Structure 1
């Protein structure tokens, strides 16, 4: 089969890889219907922790081809959405709702790579969720979003304790930031402030529910947030970038007693103990336990209550994956969908 492999910074290739097969009775093999490039894929692409060789892709939807003898919740010909972290969904950590830290957890792009034609999914019962039937083609992008960016944005809003009547600020206008805006809207936030300098992303943020746009960054961005919140700061702030600047902008934009949900993959972020102590800001985040939210998100998409698939603004065949990486790296695309 064909699959995407990164060989170093900026070096993305589509290569022939071994066809996956059932190795354990808890496995499933799926035919990938759609995959995509994630913002987190850009970190190694730009040289941060760049691999010598890494299978790429952790967001995926597909059709089950084969299952191991112990798989009971999905079966051949089911259309499935999977989390970007393999989880058994039965360990004590999973049962507490943190499947992304399952004791048997595996990050999909560390061993599997779903920017490919097929994939073996371990712990299929704990990782895959079947849709109510075979989806219409127009639902596939939204279901693909649920595999990571929508689930991550949803977790960010949940971690920031977004709720009715609250003011929410979102730091980051990439796909996860935009999905956080959508999640905040669904959770009943009264005011949703999207921080963005890019007009197309601002427009999409407004479509997803943003009430205000802040173009400033750093201290100027914080000042604007406080201006919009009577000098207090937002109740809930979402950090969806992963840099020191973004984290500090989020913390400083939060009112005393407020909550920061951080889901940007952290790179060289250091937290100031004194500011946290006197700021009375709650911090919660990390790799999103997408599996916790998948059943709810799939149903919302199936019922056409939300349309997160609008975040995909470029679709390419798998063989042109390198173009997709370059387009996202140059901010010429918000998120790229790949079709095997």
Structure 2
């Protein structure tokens, strides 16, 4: 296949990878026991997506007609078949995810198929890596070191974050006979409130009205940011220092929907607390300004929420806010659901 053909052939496979990753992650996060088979498959599919995106991006940069003639092998039918079989395997498991005995039996009986899928994903990865090297070899600006850097970055991004003490999987590890790991092997998430940035939303005020919170009317607007105040008052040299840097840009509508879901969850948790109306609930714009998008929102001594931005979703841990049910949740634009564990990739 010519490099130009890759640009059009790869996107449908990437879309399939995204769907499979979403379904695999949700199943893994909500199962009562951590299943290494699922974690291995999840990591492999995410790595394949990243490799395909890199190949497509590099192929688009080959502008010279001679470079466009580079021949690589890419049988999208094989990739589709692997992903379809995997999705069917996951869908059958998800249909009975509330029956833990059935789930354990199911994954034992499907071990052979899961192992074959892992081998297929490894073969696909080897093919894609070869494509990456061939395309870079045809480029005047790409070097072997550049390929190595891409591979290293993909390896990092397809690993799970250790924020919630997820399993660290070796990229070449085989599935063990005891591939269903008891939750006792996973520690409970621990929030280091000394190192995580604080959202100071639990504030008791005496003798001052809500109007302590607004800018002076003489500045023209009541809700000015610090950077705007500096610029309005003539301290333009400070406005650049006070302006935030966005490390995790998200569409405003997406951020607003996540924030709405988060605030609704918090209000429901605290509806019986008379002081809850005085809380200043977290502004998620602050998360996008942090290199590591984690935030601790204390509401009382040893109580609060640990909030983590995970792509276009949130993972929250409720600390000291009840003893019934899971205390870990994932928030999307459309739903909030409890987790047994959080599965998040490095960014």
Q: Which has the higher strand share?
A: 1
Global fold match (TM > 0.5): no
TM (norm. structure 1) is 0.24
Q: Radius of gyration: which is bigger? A: 2
Report which of the two has the higher share of helix: 2
